[in-house]
Amino acid sequence: MKTFVNRFFLFTAAAMFVAVAAQAQTSMTANVPFGFSLPGGNAAAGKYSIQVNRGAASTLVVLRNLDNRTIVMTLGQPLSPADSNESGPRLVFRCGDAHCALSEIWTLNAGYMYPTHLKPGTGEHVTVIPFKNVNAD
């Protein structure tokens, strides 16, 4: 009986943790037609599910490629809404001669910046990809 009670309380605590964590997440999707880099690694082209997990000290962004089922995680530096020159949830990439790098993620209520290490060259431009199917924020 003691084992059952301990398991019941552990299960209840785990369920409460998952419920609280789910409330703190933002889930969206975006179709990225090119491979890109970000501080957490490299990511291939494809349809991405993006989850923003806000914590007390930092914000963890999880990018899940729905085509090849890979995951890339990275920490974002918060941006002020005043830094946005466009509206709407979106991914912002800085692209150079050889590749693109994720530089910003904007949700409905917040923006996050990522340092990019593109080498200066001709043809550097910004590409913006809007989010689709915004579930919550």
More confident residue, 103 or 17: 103
Lowest mean pLDDT among 61-65, 71-75, 117-121, 131-135: 117-121
| pLDDT over 90, % of the chain | 16
Q: For residue 131, what are the CA distances in angstroms to 15, 32, 71, 134?
A: 30, 10, 18, 7
Which one, of 54, 43, 55, lies nearest residue 129 by Cα? 43
Q: What average pLDDT does this structure show over 22-43?
A: 78
CA angle 119, 101, 110 (to 5 degrees): 130
pLDDT band at 34 (very low <50, low <70, confident <90, very high): very high
The answer to pTM > 0.75 is: no
pLDDT at 9 > cutoff 80 = no
In 10 A of CB 115, how many CB atoms? Answer: 9
More confident residue, 136 or 33: 33
User: First-to-last CA distance in the chain?
Assistant: 42
More confident residue, 76 or 17: 76
